[in-house]
Amino acid sequence: MGGHSCCHKQKPRKGLWSPEEDEKLIKHINKYGHGCWSTVPNQAGLQRCGKSCRLRWINYLRPDLKRGTFSQQEEDLIIELHAVLGNRWSKIAAHLPGRTDNEIKNLWNSSIKKKLTQRGIDPSSHKPLVKVDGGDDDKVASNSDKNSDSSDLQSVIDKSMDESSTLKKEIFLDQFLTSSSSCCSSNSMGYLPFPQVSFAPDYSSSSQATSITINSNPLFWLNCNAISTPITTLSTSMALPPSYEEEDDTIPGWYTGNRKSVNDGGRIMLQSTCSFDSGVFSCSELTSEKDVQAHLGDEMEDLKWSEYLHGAFQSQPMYGDIKTGNQSPMNTVSSLYQNQQLRQELQASDIHGKRFHSVSLGFEHL
């Protein structure tokens, strides 16, 4: 494209902006607003393309920009959001006030990517990297590439999601987003009759019992003040090694995020502390999807179901050394880690294959 309508008349200036140009642009926008960007260069007396003016304003001159280095919390949030949203920088930026998509993209490419790789995490898939057997020491591969046997929960999920239900989820989400008409506040959100998948293999009778509830309703994470996050509530006793139970809040290994461990009559309940105002969701609260509108912060989010799946199940971050037990101000992101925890716990179970077959069957009912 190169040639915008605003650039036809005269050859636009390129390259870095001079302070004079900045001043002109600021003055003009402060006085008149930007209106149509293609007319800004002429009106402001700039020999720039309107697109270039827009970019300069958005990325550099806007008064609400937060300059300076990213905090650790911001970085963590970016990583977590990236796990959910992928390279959708503008979406990610929407959750970091004062930061631009360009800034975040640059940070990702220059810094975060490297850090994750050093920590043995594939920055694109957010899965742990593993050494390739017999290969070059430096060669690593995504864990999921290697461990694809049927006992791998991830592959089970991937298969069931990718092959049989992604299309349905997309259709569903389309309906969900387009049919939405009423706004739901953070404490009166609507619910879909979406399968709240539960496996409850008699957890009252056996120490081997595992009760897992995966709430697959996109609203559970779309309607979140700070970040969209799937809620995975799990109450389990068998999957946790004794040390977990003893250490209460401290889960060794990769996860030391924000969680509570509640002793519930012999069972250890790991509970999300997601910052949903309403706190507890129940099936009885479900309403028709017609009544539902997803909110992500203040804006409608156009997440597709397949992306949700990737975020919730396929792209679980494992940043044990990032999370150091201190609670992030962004509480809501922590539940992402819980999905990872869920996976790990299920991997310890010899029955999880069946369980996730049930998940996919459940989704089939969409």
Partner DNA sequence: AAGTGCGCCAACCGCTTCTTT
Partner DNA sequence: GAAAGAAGCGGTTGGCGCACT
Q: Which residue has the tokens 């049927």?
A: 150
Q: Which stretch binds DNA (CB under 7 A): 31-39, 128-136, 219-227, 256-264?
A: 31-39
Q: Is 115 in the site for DNA (CB under 7 A)?
A: no
Look up residue 16 and give its amino acid. Answer: L
Q: Which stretch binds DNA (CB under 7 A): 33-41, 125-133, 264-272, 356-364?
A: 33-41
* Between 114 and 260, CB nearer to DNA: 114
Taking CB under 7 A as the criterion, the residue among 83, 107, 212, 296 binding DNA is 107
* Between 46 and 274, CB nearer to DNA: 46
Taking CB under 7 A as the criterion, the residue among 30, 47, 109, 326 binding DNA is 109
Q: Is 267 in the site for DNA (CB under 7 A)?
A: no
CA-nearest of 344, 216, 329 to 270 is 344
Q: Which stretch binds DNA (CB under 7 A): 85-93, 192-200, 265-273, 340-348?
A: 85-93
Q: Is 56 in the site for DNA (CB under 7 A)?
A: yes
Helix (H/G/I), strand (E/B), else coil: 46:
coil
Q: Is 78 in the site for DNA (CB under 7 A)?
A: no
| Interacting residues of 133 by C-beta distance below 8 A, sequence separation 6+ | none
CA-nearest of 128, 78, 112 to 255 is 128
Say how far apart CA 55 and CA 61 lie, in whole Å.
Answer: 9
Q: Which residue has the tokens 């019992």?
A: 209
Taking CB under 7 A as the criterion, the residue among 43, 54, 159, 304 binding DNA is 54
Q: Which of residues 10-29 bind DNA (CB under 7 A)?
A: 13-17
Taking the CA atoms of residue 323, residue 329, residue 330 and residue 332 in that order, the dihedral angle to the nearest 10 degrees is 90
Q: Is 176 in the site for DNA (CB under 7 A)?
A: no
Taking CB under 7 A as the criterion, the residue among 55, 132, 269, 348 binding DNA is 55
Q: Is 51 in the site for DNA (CB under 7 A)?
A: yes
Joined together, the tokens standing for residue 9 give 């008349």
> Residues in contact with DNA, total (CB under 7 A)?
42
Total Cβ atoms within 10 A of residue 7: 18
* Between 113 and 146, CB nearer to DNA: 113
Taking CB under 7 A as the criterion, the residue among 20, 27, 32, 35 binding DNA is 35
Question: Strand 196-199 vs strand 232-236: parallel, antiparallel, or unpaired?
Answer: unpaired
DSSP code for 253: T
Q: Which stretch binds DNA (CB under 7 A): 100-108, 185-193, 221-229, 304-312?
A: 100-108
* Between 228 and 272, CB nearer to DNA: 228
Q: Which of residues 193-252 bind DNA (CB under 7 A)?
A: none
Q: Is 1 in the site for DNA (CB under 7 A)?
A: yes
Contact 252, 344 (CB under 8 A): no
What per-residue string of b and e applies to 155-184 under the rule 16 or more CB within 10 Å gives b? bbbbbbbeeebbeebeebbeebbeebeeeb
CA-nearest of 6, 73, 15, 78 to 44 is 6
* Between 111 and 144, CB nearer to DNA: 111
* Between 38 and 198, CB nearer to DNA: 38
Q: What is the x/- site pattern for DNA, positions 282-321, by CB under 7 A?
A: --------------------x-------------------
Q: Which helix (H) or strand (E) holds 44?
A: helix 40-44
Q: Is 9 in the site for DNA (CB under 7 A)?
A: no
Q: Is 4 in the site for DNA (CB under 7 A)?
A: yes
| Interacting residues of 176 by C-beta distance below 8 A, sequence separation 6+ | 192, 218, 289, 292, 294
Contact 328, 259 (CB under 8 A): no
Taking the CA atoms of residue 137, residue 141, residue 145 and residue 148 in that order, the dihedral angle to the nearest 10 degrees is 40
In the complex, the residues that contact DNA under the rule CB under 7 A are 1-2, 4-6, 13-17, 34-38, 48-52, 54-56, 59-60, 69, 87-91, 101-103, 105-107, 109-111, 114, 302
